[in-house]
Structure 1
Amino acid sequence: MTVKPYKSSEGSKKTQVAGMFNNIAPKYDFLNHFLSLGIDKIWRKRAINLLKDIPNPLILDVATGTGDLAIEANKRLNCKVVGVDISTEMLKVADEKLVKRELTEVISVQEGDSENLPFENDTFDAVIVAFGVRNFENLNKGLTDMGRVLKPGGKMVVLEFSKPAYFPFKQLYLFYFLYILPWLGGLISKDKAAYTYLPESVLNFPDGKTFDSELVKAGLSPIKRYKQTMGIATIYFSEKPKQ
């Protein structure tokens, strides 16, 4: 079943996701850090650290949003990053950050579709994405296209929400995720549907071993999964086979 943000709308998931992020862009960063108690910042650092052995990498940040992961990559790896996203309003926030931090020479962002990336084959040393693949309209197409723009032997790091498995944390987390988070997120962002969609999309996402299988279907080779904070999120580390 395809989960969409706005159930009363006839638009495609891709169109709805773009509209949703345009709506919540002004409050997105605050809500991200507030609703996760700042833990999302730690997850991003751990994700980027997996790429520390690649010398002078050129990195593509898919679904870059407001640019937090791209900025973290530049900070930790001293590298150039290209970010793409389908939401123009999120990219405006990212641009403001890059100008304010004087990073426009090393990080660039542009509008782009994750399932039809505007780059040549074998361009990037690494592809990164945080909390984005869950929003793809066609997961296989998105993963395959990210693999296409990776150089042979290049690495992919996917940070995505997952489902905790153990009692009692699982039950406590699901109560927060299904009831408290949508209420708070909707109240602050003025878009309740966006924060109802968040837990629905997570619960319907093929996480864990199932996502590893999706990576294999897309022509990538899983290396390792790293569960974060008792399974709230997972970092998937994979590579494009050398030719």
Structure 2
Amino acid sequence: MFNLSEKGRGIRDMFDAIAPRYDLLNRLLSLGIDRRWRRFAVGQLQIPNGGKVLDVATGTGDVALEIASRTPDSVTIVGEDFTQGMLVQGMEKIAKSPYRRRIALVNAPCEAMPHPSAIFDGVTIAFGIRNVVDRLEGLREMHRVLKPGGRAVILEFSNPKSRLFKSLYYFYFRRILPCVGGLLSKRSAYQYLPDSVLEFPDQQSFKALMGQAGFVNLRHHDLTCGIATVYVGEKG
């Protein structure tokens, strides 16, 4: 049994609170670009017929549904999240989709996955690794459950390198986003978002952490002027 830290419990409770409006605010605050980022991330997977994919921090199931829409019917997907409120929203979306028989949801943290080793052909996590308290342990768990040759794809916010774009981005992120989030949901959650992005490692440092967890053939793709980054690593 994995015991969440005080910080982990706080993050879980925060996402429970914002779950009902999570999808609405994602689309609104990203101007819909988050869908394009998820499509690009899922496109980095290589899943064989009859394969299995794990989507960690699945939230309301957006990535799990995207994977299902772009893989053969023989591929099954497991969506995992430690926040029950998010999974409730995800269950409703998946139940209304044509992929409901292919997607199963599990309530568990990234650092302690209830899956056997070497069972998945691909593992994804979108905008979730930033919220994992013990990131190295979370990455090690992702590596453990992958089959040899399997691929991990991680989508996360990052910090733009252009000075001008960075200043505009930070103004939006620090001033506008928390205000809009506060009007429609919980302001503290949308204050946490920019704070957590600003403290997240840069691309080279995060790839080094992935390497420490055992991943090889590491690479990254910056998206939309560096607002988001997709990291790809494989299990040797």
* TM-score under structure 2 length normalisation: 0.95
Of the three residues 11, 17, 27, the one matched with 1:23 is 17
Work out whether 1:183 is the aligned partner of 2:179.
Answer: yes
Q: What letter is aligned with 1:106?
A: R
CA RMSD of aligned residues (A): 1.2
> Structure 2, unaligned stretches of length 5 or more?
none
Q: What letter is aligned with 1:223?
A: L
Q: What letter is aligned with 1:110?
A: V
Alpha-carbon shift at residue 186 of structure 1 (Å): 1.5
Aligned length: 230
Work out whether 1:94 is the aligned partner of 2:101.
Answer: no
Q: What letter is aligned with 2:104?
A: S
Of the three residues 122, 135, 140, the one matched with 2:136 is 140
Work out whether 1:172 is the aligned partner of 2:168.
Answer: yes
- 2:56 alignment partner in structure 1: 62
Q: Distance in 1 between matches of 2:188 and 2:47?
A: 41
Q: Distance in 2 between matches of 1:229 and 1:176?
A: 15
Q: What letter is aligned with 2:62?
A: D
Does structure 1 conserve the Cα–Cα contact (< 8 Å) formed by 2:46 and 2:151?
no
Work out whether 1:218 is the aligned partner of 2:225.
Answer: no
Q: What letter is aligned with 1:225?
A: H
Q: What letter is aligned with 1:135?
A: N
Alpha-carbon shift at residue 207 of structure 1 (Å): 2.7
Alpha-carbon shift at residue 53 of structure 1 (Å): 6.0
1:83-162 equivalent positions in 2, closer than 5 A? 83-162=79-158
* TM-score under structure 1 length normalisation: 0.92
Identity of aligned residues (%): 45
1:5-20 equivalent positions in 2, closer than 5 A? 12-20=6-14
Matched residue of 1:122: which SS?
coil
Deviations 1:198-226 (A, max 9, x none): 00000000131010001011111143210
Deviations 1:131-159 (A, max 9, x none): 00000010000000110000111100000
